[in-house]
Amino acid sequence: MKQYLKVDEWSIIEESFDPATHEISESIFSIGNGYMGQRANFEEQYSGKSLQGSYMAGVYYPDKTRVGWWKNGYPEYFAKVLNSTNWIGIDVTINDTVLDLANCEVKNFVRELNMKEGYLSRRFVAVLADGKEVQVEAIRFVSIKRHEIGAIRYAVTPLNFSGTVKLVSYLDGDVQNKDSNYEEKFWLEVDKAAAADVSYLTLKTKKLDFHVTSVMSFDVFKNGTKLDVQPAVAEREKYVSSEVVVDANQGETVAVYKYVANVTSRNFGLGELVEAGKKLLADAKAAGFDALLKEQVDGWAAKWKESDIIIEGDTSAQQAIRFNIFQLNQTYDGSDDRLNIGPKGFTGEKYGGSTYWDTEAYCVPFYLSTADSEISRNLLIYRYKHLEKAKENAKKLGFTKGALYPMVTMNGEECHNEWEITFEEIHRNGAIAYAIYNYVNYTGDKSYLGQYGLEVLAEISRFWEQRVNYSADKNKYVMLGVTGPNEYENNSNNNWYTNRIAAWTMEYTLEVIDYLKANESARYQELVGKLELKEEETKKWQDIIANMYYPYDEERQVFLQQDGFLDKELIKVKDLPQENLPLNQKWSWDRILRSCFIKQADVLQGLYFLGDRYDLETKKRNFDFYEPMTVHESSLSPCLHSIIACELGYQEKAYEMYLRTARLDLDNYNNDTEDGCHTTSMAGTWMSVIQGFGGLRVANDELVLRPFIPSHWTSFSFKVMFRDSRLNVSVTDENIIVTNETDVPAAIRIYDSSYTVNGNGEVKVERATATK
């Protein structure tokens, strides 16, 4: 772990160039707009180590490679997120020397990710082999207003000589995936044309025929004056380029403005791609770079208004939390309900797939509190739209009814191929049910239940109904062969969390049925018909709820993670020699499985989700038992521990856990940031501030706050959207001040007292009084 980034409130800044950390920076400085995104690869040629990555949301490849002995019911494919056309490329040649930071001295290097305004910039002086020095300034962004548009300004200034600057702007689809077996390439050329004004390249993916057309155009300026140049164009397989050569005297700046539109067959007909791309490109170019950048700055200002968190007294924490919020907003903006939140966003290809239970367990709470409720609603509808595929999936596994959502998916189909995950990590179904509860509880939007919610809930309950079986030995319902959120146990029996969330799903489904029966009887009748819901089913659910088996240790009075957990040697992480960590890099898989060590909250996940059902003492006993055995080798783990620690008053532990999640990527904590950022876990970091330190919950239609200030901070404040109002919650040593930034009044509770924050009004509570 090397901390090489400058601490700054609003930017991520790297102040010198080090090839050893370049791939990490490529991940961290990534930019995206929910539609496309890319790693911070250099525009100019770079022959050093680099992971090239340009990604178009929703474009993937179904890899059917098999190894070992395939089992019946295994998914058909593993979805690979595809590295697509490199559209940022600008090759630079100074006289006859190609600019390549791997082959020259680099001075005054500064790379900056401006999170406030949403762009990536870079400047440096390159000292070429012959002593010639050129200054380069590059800035680029992907527009959050015009999803298809990317824009680059790339400026070159000879500092100590006069000569020629050759600039080759290109689109290159002859790219690779790092995770490709046998160096297979996944793109085929469809069409291309290189011309002086506008060039384009259309590729399609193998097998699924996703088409992507990239259209580029560019202007060249010298010292601010546009040049009337006639570029030399070139084409080769999956490649088009335009070349200009400009004479530049010492001190003169040659700048290229490159505009690109990337359109895909997900949004346009095959015959329309080129024209659509050209049109979008022409509009953008007509607006011009500065206007596009202005749009970008304004767009990001609006985002920050909804989601910013201010931490006083700890700039490092300030930077970190903004980085997390920024990456989340770059990854998903809710505008396309076919999309979801990939675990690495647009920062890498690892893990494939786009949708995990991370979305429901971690991201939904973030978007609920920081954006219009439409966005989280769309995340829920995404699953509703996949209900038929989830039912097919359950059928494929031999269930006669019900739905099993996939563990990993691009389009509703399961696309991960390890049985212990695909078939067994079924708690995901519970998280998907829970997200419905969470959404309705947070927004008060009960209309969702009749419109979409019950169908999903009922099919999930039906799945649980069949997934348990009655144990004559225990005289209880048991659930065999599951993997819980703690993936360091596989194929275990009676995973407490899974049993609990299964029973909870059935409880909530019955509650929703009662609600609809009482309040939307026509729709309810319609749904009974559509679902063919039978009384014997709901009775069965009640029976399972009443007779579910929960492993429990009477002596310690803790829930047992699963049957047999106490057969393990119970060792604390702190008693394990450091050289064993991280276990997933140091230990073999079987040793991990046999050990007591926990990758990620499991019992605690249940106590978090169902927090209002368990008293503090219960939470304390379980936290005290499990936390010391938890290695937090999932990026999703520490945040939950932090939140529960806050609740238990373990403030130091809470802050320790917060630190592990907050700067996970910025400090490359898990030593894998070069593969991409841990995007979904960033929502967990946000949760640990808002739900942990802020103590935010929603109960009885009130927004509940139980804040405290970590001792390392002087104060903090955060924005939170709640039922059409936007509140700013400011926590200082003295006061808790909740300011309503909208016209809509909001019902809140601070600790145990209720208040109404009037439209544009404020509630100020003295902490000394309130916390008593």
> Could you list the active site residues?
487
The answer to whether the annotation marks 600 as part of a ligand binding site is: yes
* 213 or 494: CB nearest a copy of itself: 494
Q: Which is nearer to a copy of itself, 108 or 585 (CB)?
A: 585
Binding site for a copy of itself (CB under 8 A): 63, 65-69, 71-74, 78, 181-182, 184, 351, 396-398, 416-420, 423-424, 469-474, 478, 480-481, 490-494, 563-564, 566-570, 584-591, 593-594
> What are the φ and ψ backbone dihedral angles of 703, each rounded to 5 degrees?
-85, 115
For the CB of residue 324, give the shortest distance to a copy of itself in the complex, in Å.
Answer: 24
Would you put residue 564 in left (φ > 0), alpha (ψ -120 to 50) or beta? Answer: left
How many C-beta atoms surround the C-beta of residue 744 within 10 A?
A: 16
Smallest separation (angstroms) from a copy of itself to the CB of 588: 3
Residue with tokens 């100019």: 44
The contacts found for 340-343 with CB under 8 angstroms, 24 or more apart, are 340/379, 340/382, 341/679, 341/680, 342/81, 342/679, 342/680, 343/678, 343/679, 343/680
Q: Are 94 and 131 in contact (CB under 8 A)?
A: no
126, 106 in Cβ contact below 8 A? Answer: yes
CB of 41 to a copy of itself, least distance (A): 25
CB of 567 to a copy of itself, least distance (A): 4
DSSP summary character for residue 409: B
* Least CB distance to a copy of itself at residue 493 (A): 5
* Residue 504: CB atoms within 10 Å: 21
What is the CA angle 240-244-250, rounded to 5? 145
Distance CA 63, CA 182 (A): 12
Separation between Cα atoms, residue 193 and residue 201, nearest integer Å = 7
Nearer to a copy of itself, 351 or 718 (CB): 351
- 504 assigned ligand-binding residue: no
Q: How far apart are CA 706 and CA 713, in angstroms?
A: 17
Where is 438: in which H helix or E strand?
A: helix 427-443
Query: Cβ distance 83 to 52 under 8 Å?
Result: yes
Which tokens hold the place of 83?
Answer: 């590295």
DSSP state of 489: S
Taking the least distance from each CB to a copy of itself, the nearer of 33 and 83 is 83
Query: Which residue number, 478 or 744, has a Cβ lying nearer to a copy of itself?
Result: 478
Q: For residue 686, say whether it is annotated as part of any ligand binding site.
A: no
* Cα angle value 466/467/470 (rounded, 5°): 80
User: Annotated binding residue at 3?
Assistant: no
Joined together, the tokens standing for residue 47 give: 């022959």
Instruction: Give least dist CB 212 to a copy of itself, A.
Output: 23
CA distance 401 to 520: 25
To the nearest whole angstrom, how small is the minimum distance from the Cβ of residue 53 to a copy of itself?
Answer: 19
- Closest to a copy of itself by CB, 381 or 397: 397
Rounded to an integer, what is the distance from CA 719 to the centroid of its chain? 20
CA distances from 643 to 56, 128, 727, 767 (A): 34, 52, 21, 20
Q: Which is nearer to a copy of itself, 367 or 488 (CB)?
A: 488
Name beta bridge partners: 90.
Answer: 169
Strands 78-81 and 149-158: unpaired
Is the peptide bond prior to 582 cis by the omega test (within 30 degrees of 0)?
yes
Q: Token pair for residue 605?
A: 């996940």
Distance of CA 668 to the CA centre of its chain: 17
Closest distance to a copy of itself from the beta carbon of 77 (Å):
10
Q: Which is nearer to a copy of itself, 65 or 753 (CB)?
A: 65
Residues in binding site for substrate: 357-358, 599-600
Residues in binding site: 357-358, 599-600
